[in-house]
Structure 1
C-alpha cells in the first residue's frame, strides 16, 4: 500500500463527505493505492454514522471510534498503530487542509528521501489576534528550543516515512512536536512545504487560546525529555550537588566565624542567630530532595509499563 491518510476529528460531520470525495478524486487521479483512517475522538454529532456510510461506499475508508474525547495526540497514536502505507499523511478534517497537496508531499518523501515533511500555512485565514500572532510567537520559541527549523509546527498536514511513525511515541499533547520527536529518534532529514490554507467551511474551531499555553508547557516538557528523559539523575543530581556545595560552604563559613571570634576573645552569638545557618540548612534539604527526585526518576524510567492511554469503542475495516 502506498499511502495511509490519517485524519483525527471531533464533530466534523458536515465536512466528512466532501473531504472524502476530494481525497478519493486525488488518489484516483494519481493511481495511488491508499487507505483513509478516520479517528473519531469522541464526537457527539453524527460523525461516526457518516464514517460508517462512507466506508460502506468505499472499502479504502476505515474508522476508529474512541469511547470519549482523548485528544488529538491519542487519535494520531491510534492511527499510526493501524497505518499500513509506506508513506503516512496526516491532515485535519475541517477542509482547511487541501488533499491536492498530497502528491507533492508523497514525492518529497519517496523521491527526495525526506523522513518527514511538514506543511507551512504561510498565508492563513485565521484571526490575526486570536491565532496568527500567538502562532508566530509559539513557532519562534519552538525553533529556538528544539533546533528544528520549521515555520509552522502546528500545521496538521504532514507526510512521514512509515519507519518514522512506527518509532516515535505521541502522547499527552505532543502532536505539535512530532518533528522534534522524530529528530530525537534519529530522523534528521526534515523538510517543509508551503501548503494552501483554506477558511473553515463548516462549524467552528475546536481549539482556543489555551492550546498555545499548553503548547508552551509541552515545549518545556519535550526539551526536558529530549535532554534528560533517559538520565534524569544527571539534571537533578547536578542541582543537588550544587545545593550541597552551597550548604557546606555556608556551614564552614559559620564554623570559621565562630572559631575566629573564640580565638580572639570576642563575644560569640548563637549559631541560629546567623542567617547563614538557615541558608545552609535550606540548601542541604533542597539538595537531598533533588537527589531523591533524580533517583525516583531513574527508578520510574526503568520500571514503567506502557499503559493504555485511550479506549477504542469500534473499528471499521481494520
Structure 2
C-alpha cells in the first residue's frame, strides 16, 4: 500500500458502530458536537448501523439532516463490529480517528486528550483503559483473562484491548484490514504493521443508560481463536513453507527413523538367531507410516502455500509503505 500524500480534510473523524441504539444516539451526537465546538475542531461523525432492527437508522437520517458533519452507513444485516469499523475506516477523512461505542459508556469528553496524544505526543494509536468498570463479574473476570492472554501472545502491553474508545492516526487505520472478530486486536495488528508507538489512557467507564449489552460469553472464545489466527498469519503468512515445511521435514524424519529402527532391530535379531517378528506386524510401524505420510502432506502444503503467496504479492503488493521521496516528478 502506498501512503496518501493528500492532507486529511478534517481534524477529527468519530466512527461509531452501533446495533439497536436508537435511544442513545441523539444524546451521544449532541455530546460529541459540544466537545468539538468547545475545542474548535473541524470534525465529522460517521455512524455505522450494523443492521439495526429498531429506529436507529431513522435517527441517523434525522441527525444528518440537521448537522452536515454527520454521515451514516447502514448494513443490510448484522455483520458485527469488526465489519462496521473496517467500513468506517475506509470512509473517513480525518487526521485523527476516534472510535467509540454508541451506548454512552464511552465519554466524548476524552476526545481532546486522545487527540493531543496523537498530534502532540506522537502516538500512532492510543487505547482507552476502563480501569474502573461498571460491568458484572461474569464479564470482568473473562475480560481480565482475555487481556492477559493477548498480552502474552502479542507482546503488546495494554490493560484493556477491547475498549471501544481508541484514537488513531489516519494512516494507521487506512493501512490495515480487519475481519471476523479482529476489532479487539487492532493494536496488535497496528504493531505488526510497523505502527508501534502505542499508548494507553485511563478513561471513564459509564454505566449503560439505555438498552442491554449485545455481546455474550461466546465472544471470548471467538476472540481467542482470532488471536491465534492473526498471530499465525503475522508470523507465517508470507512464508508458509517455514512452518509447514519444517513440520513436514520433522515428521518425515521421525517417521523414517522409527521405520529404520524397526528394520534394524529385526535384522539384528535374525543375525543373533533370536525370535523376531515382521516389521509389518508391529503397530509402531503403522504409526511411523502415518507420520511419514502426514509429513509429506505438510511439506507439500507449505510448497503450495508459497506458490499462492508469491502470486498474491505479484498481484497486490500489499506491504505497508511508510513514505516515498524522490519520485514525485515521475508520477
TM-score relative to the length of structure 2: 0.89
Structure 1 residues 299 and 10: alpha-carbon distance in aligned structure 2, compared to 1, 3 A threshold: farther
Runs of at least 4 residues of structure 1 off by over 6 A? none
For residue 153 of structure 1, give the secondary structure of its aligned residue in structure 2: coil
Alignment RMSD, CA only? 1.3
Measure the CA separation in 1 of the matches of 2:203 and 2:251.
Answer: 50
Superposed displacement of residue 294, structure 1: 1.8
Give the 3-state SS of the residue equivalent to 1:168 in structure 2: coil
Counterpart in the other structure of 1:108:
117
Identify the structure with bigger relative contact order (alpha carbons < 8 Å, sequence gap 6+). 1
User: Does 1:203 find its partner at 2:183?
Assistant: no
Q: Distance in 1 between matches of 2:184 and 2:90?
A: 18
Deviation, structure 1 residue 214: 1.0
1:54 matched to 2:87: no
**What are the superposed Cα offsets for residues 131-189 of structure 1, whole Å, 9 maximum, x if unpaired?**
11000000000001100000000100000001101111111110000000000000111
CA contact (8 A) 1:5 1:89 kept: yes
Q: Choose which of 69, 72, 77 in structure 1 pairs with 2:81.
A: 72
CA distance in 2, matches of 1:182, 1:241: 33
Q: SS at 2:94's partner residue?
A: coil
Match of 1:160 in 2: 168
User: In structure 2, what is the Cα distance between the partners aligned to 1:134 and 1:187?
Assistant: 28
The answer as to 2:17 corresponding to 1:8 is yes
| Conserved? CA contact 1:121–1:155, under 8 Å | yes
SS of 2:213 mapped into structure 1: coil
Q: Give 2:32's aligned residue.
A: 23
Task: Report deviation, 1:302.
Answer: 4.2
Task: Structure 2: give runs of 5+ residues left out of the alignment.
Answer: 1-9, 317-331
- Inter-partner Cα distance in structure 1 for 2:49 and 2:241: 40
* Match of residue 309 from structure 1: none
